[in-house]
Each structure stands twice: as C-alpha cells, then as structure tokens.
Structure 1
Amino acid sequence: MSATGGNTAGGAGSGEERIHAGYLIETPFDPRQVAETMAGEQSCGTFARVRDETDELRARARATVESIEELEPASEPSLPNAYLERRGTGGPWRRARVGLSFPVGNIGANLPTLAATVAGNLYDLGELTGLRLESLRLPSAYRMRFDLPALGVAGTRASIGAQSGCLVGTIIKPNVGLSARQTAALVKELCEAGVDFIKDDEVCADPVHAPLAERVPAVMEVIRAHAERSGRHVMMAFNISDETDAMLRHAELVRREGGSCVMASLNWCGFSAIQSLRRGTPLAIHGHRNGFGAFSRHPMLGISYQAWQTLWRLTGVDHMHVHGLQGKFAQADQEVVDAARDCAARMSDSADDRVLPAFSSGQWAGTVPATWKAIGSEDLLFMSGGGILAHPDGPAAGVASIRQAWQAQREGVSLEEYSRGMPELRAALQRFGKPAA
C-alpha cells in the first residue's frame, strides 16, 4: 500500500476500519526501527513495554507500519535535536516515507484525539530530525460520523443565486480601521459593482471602532436592500473569530439580520470551537487558513494541506482558502492547485461533502488563465481585493474585467485578444501588468 494518496477510503487486511497516515521522516537510525517507534508512541506503546501491554491488547490497539520507502539521505540534519546531541549521535541523516495505520476504535468520532494521534508527539520524538505529515486518508463510514458542510458548493451557489460560472468575491479594504457605517458604504459599492461574495479580513473581527453588534446590522441593511432591488443576495462572510460562546452569539446575530455566511480563523479558534459553531448555526462557514504557513512551509516539518484540510473538513466548514496562482504568498502554484483539488474531492461515498476552494492573494483578471488551465472548473470562489478595488475605472470595472477574463477562457481566447472589445479588461491589463501564463 502506498504511504501517500488522496481522500479515498482504505482498510487493513483484517477488514477492520483503519485510518491511514503518510509521513516524511529524517533520522540517523534505521527508518524501520523508527517507524515501529512511531507506531507504538501514537497508539498503545511507550519507550519500554509495560506490564499491561499484552499481546491481545497490542493486536487490538497498536498502530501498524504499512509501508517504508527509503529516500536519498541528507548531509545535514533539518532540525536541531538535543536528544541526539547529548548522545553524540551523528549522521548520515536517512530520509524515508513511512505509512502507518491506526485502529478507528482507538479514537472514535473525536476530532482533537484524531489530530493528536496522527500529528501529536511524533514531532518531538528524539529519534527524528525531521517529520512531516504528508497525507491522511479516512474510511468513508468514519468520515460520516463527523459534521458535513451546511451549504457546500451547491448550497453556496443557491444562496447567492449563481448556478453557473466562477463566483467572484472581494475583501473589505482597508483590512481594518473602517467604522461600521464606512464598511456598509463600501459593501454597498461592492454590491452594486456586481460581486457575488464579500469577506472581512482575518484581522478584522470585533474591533472597538466597528464592533460586530454595529457592523452586522449596518452591512446587512445594505445587502438586503440590494437583494430587493436586484433579486441577488450577495454573500457576506463576517469574521466572527472569538471564543466559542461569543462566536455562537455573533453567528446568531448574522442569522437574525438575514446573513448567510460567517468566517473563522480555523487555526486559532480550534477544532472543537468550529465543531460547536457548525452545530450551532445553519450558516455557511468560511474557513480561513491564516497561519497555515507556520505548519507547512518547512519541507521536513509540519503538515501538508491535504492532511490539514482533511482534519478541518470534519468540522463541517463550507469554504476553505487555498491561496492563489501567481499570487503574493510563498506557496508554489502546484501546491495551490493540489489544495484546490483536495477541497473538490469527496471524502465519503455517502454524501457530497466537497467544500468550495477560495482563491485569494494577489488575484486579478490576469491570473484567471492560469487558474482555468490548472483547475478546469468554475466551482471555485475567485477573490480579488486590489484587482477590483484598485481598478483604474472603479470596482464595477474591476469585477467586469474578471468576468470577462473567465469568459475568454470559456471561448479559448487569449486575454489580449479578448480585451480588444472589452475596455474593463484592457484597462486591467494595462494597470496590473502581463497576464499569468
């Protein structure tokens, strides 16, 4: 069995449901020995076998080493390790991909414990100078023991009233500092510009100059009025990141005011808080990934997006950020593409639990061709801040330029050629530069 893979179901040879995790490790020891240590540490073992760790208990509860693929060694250790330094242990620093499986019965429908099992003390093991959780696969039936998205892809489209085409969104700019009334005035302008979706920035949640108690009613008054005039409901993701009870209160305020979406900073709110939020509101949850780079950027440490989004999707979020192609952040384009495909993959045979991938960071009309080429689908949220708000002819022209760029892809025409009859797209190309390939 491969130690890497997508969100397909898998099982052990005995037929018992098992969770499969794939790791990249670095160690001065035999990777097979280290893999067995990892399996024991994350199930029923410790550094020495204890009295009650019987053969029967081990057969029932111990994690299993499923695969080992040794790679080229490294000349230097990736991470410092005082345990090895105290013992004078040096290289070579052997690297390997290791596949482990864990009995579902060890964990149950307990998301924090699932995370602690596949991504817990492993990172601190003295035998390792590098460890990265690369993949996580769950049995289909096990996934169904957790929360599903309330809206997902189809429900988000239905709420907005956009059954086809890319969903075009934007972000409140400046990130923070506007009053509630100033925010509402900007939202009014953006609604009239033709966006499908608007979100708060992750650093603007409940500031003193624009508390949610004032901002939500002011903004929703504008959105309701726009819906009455146009028949289209713009989805606004209010950032309600907070402690759990406060988030539930904020979500209820959004619901009472006729809103359809709330946003939360996943990494900082935590699994249990987002699970409670999902169970306490029918609104779409826009899952923001800020801080994910701390878990992912080092190639020999942390967690891949595939594994990260697998855990977070069990909370029942509806949208997940993947960053953007040719964007302003550090991720390679292929990582963004893989992340979007992970979000669009079902984790269960029993339900459509796909989440809407949200592209953002430096996105504008010129990054549409690369997005279309890589994804081949318009079931995504294409969010542009500066590409809309900084368009030389105003936000409406910014939105039009993005929609024109998507239409050009449908027709198989280059942006340069298509822009000859589209002044909004032409102005965007002149203002922001060369289109992404």
Structure 2
Amino acid sequence: MNSQSFTATYLIETPLDPGRVAEVMAGEQSCGTFTRVQGETDELRARARARIESIEELDSTPIPSLPNAWLARQPGGMPAAYRRARVRIAFPVANVGANLPTLAATVGGNLYDLGEVTGLRLESMELPANYRAQFDMPRAGIAGTRALTGVANGPLVGTIIKPNVGLSPEQTAHLVAQLCAAGVDFIKDDEVCANPAHAPLAQRVAAVMAVVRAHRERTGRQVMVAFNISDETDAMRRHADLIEREEGTCVMASLNHCGYSAIQTLRRSTPLALHGHRNGYGALSRHAMLGVGFQAYQTLWRLAGVDHMHVHGLQGKFSQDDREVVDSARDCLASLTLGIDDPVMPAFSSGQWAGTVPATWSAVRSDDLLFMSGGGILAHPDGPAAGVLSIRQAWQAMREGQHLEDYARHAPELRRAIEFFGNRA
C-alpha cells in the first residue's frame, strides 16, 4: 500500500448517493467542512484531503437503523429507502503523525454524527509499515508471555479471581495459592476490582505475590498474575512500579475507560506484560450499523503497545456470535503490517470450560492463546486442580484428533467436567 497514507473501511447507511456521502466523510475528517472555506486552496486539498479509494454498494432497507433529526428537517421529511455501502478512504499520514488519539479521532470522530447517514461503522484499518513502526510495539507479546510463564507449548490456561469483589487481601492470596497449586498458568483480577477499600491494591499485590513467589520456589513455575491497575495515569504508573518490585510480571487495564494516552504512557513506563481488557466494547460494537468492528478496534489498541487482547469466548455467555470471536482471535494473531512481527495473544473468556475447547481449537487451530475459565475451573466437582486438568486433557484430545467423549473414557477429570457442566452449557 501507499506508504504516505493509511486506509479505513466503513459500512454506511444513507438515503443519499453513497458516493456523495463518502466525499462528505473524506472532507469532514481531513481538510474540509460542508463548504469550502478561506485558505482551503487547491494545493492544500491535493496535499491534505482524504481520498476515496472505493465504494461498494450493498443492499437497502426501508427503515433507518438510527434516528436522524437532520434528515427529518430536510424538505419532504424522512426518505422511503436507505442504501448501504462499504466505503474505503485513504488518509494522508502527514495529517496525523504518530499521534494515537488524533488517529482515532480521524478515523472516527464526528463521522458518527453526520446528518447524511443513518448508520456508520468503522470496520477495519490498514497501515503502511513505516507508519506502524512509529507507534509502540508489544513489550512481551506471545513469545514473551510464554517465556515469563515458562509455558513453551500448548495454550496458557488461566482463571479469574472470583468473587469479583469482596475478598480481603488475605482471602485473595489464599485463593491464588489454591489456583497456583491447581496448575494454572495465568490469574487475573476482574475488571471491577482495582483498588477497593476492602482490598487496597498495595496490600493485595504484596499478599498475592508472596504466595506466587513461594509457589515458584517450590515448583520452579512462575504463575502470571494480571493485577487490575486501572486508574488515572500517574496512579497506574505507581501501581506498575509496585508490582515490578514485588516480582510480578503483568498488569491489566480497562482500555476503554483509561484511554489511549494513558495506556501509551503505561506501556512506556513499565516492562511488565500489559493485559488489555476490552470491557465496554459492546457499547461500541453491538449494533451492526454503528460503532467499530474488532479489526479496527484492536489495531488502535495494539498501537498503544498491549500484549494481550480479550476476544470473549466461543459458545460463551455474551452476545457475540462465534464467528465474531474467531475473527477477533485471528486478528490478534496476525501482524498489523507486512514486515513487522507484532501479534498479540488473544484472551478467551466468558463461560469457558473443557467442553468449549473443541470449538476453540477447530476455529483457531493455534495454541497461542489464553484460555481463561472461571467456573469451569473453580466449580469443577473434584476441585480446581481437576478443573485445570480437564481443560488440558481437552486440548490434548484435540491435538491428537480425538473426540472429547472418546478421550474422556481414560481421563476422569474431563469425564467429570462433561457430566457436570454439560447439562449447564
């Protein structure tokens, strides 16, 4: 692609000519507005205006996806038909530079408020390699995460601290000790537990890391704990420093609620793995004709330097269909541009247990992922260790090309998981 521009692809809905609307979009997000203004010379427009790369007209609908007061004010009122199209726009790199908040504002920003559209969704982005290289890379990524946990092969089996909130630092540490003994590779805080009064982060980190270090001394295994340090920027930096001093290896932040600049600053302030939690993404993506698709979403956050990205889980408890989850994982595992090796580790979660492993393996065909199971481990009828082992057995069955039920005949932990969770799936 052109090294002087990056592209964004949109799905739009409009009662107007999609070509005309595309021109409005390009002008609005580069050098134009609804009319040419003083100083907007032909030379400036040639240099700075966004360019329409392609327009693919799709279907139409008699009902608008979103309300639109601007259209209602036009002569004749609301139209009878609304056309949908996929629009690809190229933006000059020089307009933005290595400025992530401005990049996000350029590909999104006021586009969502345009009166000409009754639906607009940013689907994907493509960046030239020289532009991608100006932003942060993952500090750990897949290889680094494997090195930090000592897991050379197979998926990283993880879990989430439950109850989400309410545990004291000592109670949290007791649970972490049980989970370490059960054989997990990865433990993370819930997104709603960061620095609560009942378990201040500094006390929780000290208590948890004491048992993690003790486990390492006994077994040689370093369990990765993703402490939720979501906060204002300076506090996150202090929290990360504390975790590093306690020999922790990972921090977690709620991406949507901390913001691009805070995550960039955090990335540049700590060598720890950065676990990117996407909670709130549904508000940005759940409507088919509004918001942002995961390919574009993860592109922006990977430019901030995250190492792991949540993708939800197959056959899970949330609203995303399996196809979206699979595509999201594949996006994480792909480099953003040719010539730059920057994949991040997809984190599967939400209702995962041994019985969802076959669908995950069949769809992704990769072990380079975090497979996080809360109830599937902690609620296993024979205890957390059996829960962890049931998941590992399910993955082994898939690698050997066996059906789960056949493998379970000789794997009691897996068999018990199927008997117990199968009726709840």
Maintained 8 Å contact 1:362/1:387: yes
AA at the equivalent of 1:64: R
1:187 pairs with 2:171: no
TM-score scaled by length of structure 2: 0.98
1:60 pairs with 2:47: yes
Q: Over residues 55-79 of structure 1, what are the superposed CA-to-partner deviations in whole Å (9 max), with x where a residue is unaligned?
A: 1000000000110111111110100
- Partner of residue 391 from structure 1, selected from 380, 384, 405: 380
2:241 alignment partner in structure 1: 252
Moved over 3 A (4+): 348-351
Cα distance in 1 between the residues matched to 2:368 and 2:197:
36
Question: Which range is displaced more, 350-359 or 335-344?
Answer: 350-359
AA at the equivalent of 2:210: E
1:372 alignment partner in structure 2: 361
Cα distance in 1 between the residues matched to 2:32 and 2:126:
23
1:4-403 matches, cutoff 5 A = 10-11=1-2, 16-87=3-74, 88-403=77-392
Q: Over residues 323-356 of structure 1, what are the superposed CA-to-partner deviations in whole Å (9 max), with x where a residue is unaligned?
A: 0000000000000000000000011344321100
Cα distance in 1 between the residues matched to 2:404 and 2:97:
51
Gaps of 5+ in 2: none
AA at the equivalent of 2:334: A
Residue identity over aligned pairs, in percent, reads 72
TM-superposed CA distance for 1:434, in Å, is 6.2
Pair 107,335 (structure 1): closer, same or farther in 2 beyond 3 Å: same
Q: Over residues 8-41 of structure 1, what are the superposed CA-to-partner deviations in whole Å (9 max), with x where a residue is unaligned?
A: xx22xxxx52111111111111111110010000
Q: Partner of 1:73: helix, strand, or coil? A: strand
1:7 alignment partner in structure 2: none
Q: Over residues 300-319 of structure 1, what are the superposed CA-to-partner deviations in whole Å (9 max), with x where a residue is unaligned?
A: 00000000000000000000
1:5 alignment partner in structure 2: none
TM-superposed CA distance for 1:422, in Å, is 1.0
AA at the equivalent of 2:21: V
Cα distance in 1 between the residues matched to 2:45 and 2:270:
41
Q: Over residues 75-111 of structure 1, what are the superposed CA-to-partner deviations in whole Å (9 max), with x where a residue is unaligned?
A: 1010000111111241311111111000000000000
Residues paired across the two proteins, number: 423
Maintained 8 Å contact 1:21/1:99: yes
TM-superposed CA distance for 1:129, in Å, is 0.5
Maintained 8 Å contact 2:255/2:263: yes
Cα distance in 1 between the residues matched to 2:341 and 2:176:
32
Cα distance in 1 between the residues matched to 2:79 and 2:68:
11
Cα distance in 1 between the residues matched to 2:329 and 2:423:
24
AA at the equivalent of 1:41: E
Q: Over residues 270-312 of structure 1, what are the superposed CA-to-partner deviations in whole Å (9 max), with x where a residue is unaligned?
A: 0000000000000000000100000001000000000000000
Maintained 8 Å contact 1:65/1:99: yes
TM-superposed CA distance for 1:147, in Å, is 0.5
AA at the equivalent of 1:48: T
TM-superposed CA distance for 1:141, in Å, is 1.1
Maintained 8 Å contact 2:129/2:340: no
1:404-423 matches, cutoff 5 A = 404-423=393-412
Q: Over residues 240-282 of structure 1, what are the superposed CA-to-partner deviations in whole Å (9 max), with x where a residue is unaligned?
A: 0000000000000000000000000000000000000000000
Q: Partner of 2:225: helix, strand, or coil? A: strand
Q: Partner of 1:132: helix, strand, or coil? A: strand
Gaps of 5+ in 1: 1-9
User: CA RMSD of the aligned region, Å?
Assistant: 1.0
Q: Over residues 352-400 of structure 1, what are the superposed CA-to-partner deviations in whole Å (9 max), with x where a residue is unaligned?
A: 2110000000000000000000000100000000000000000000000
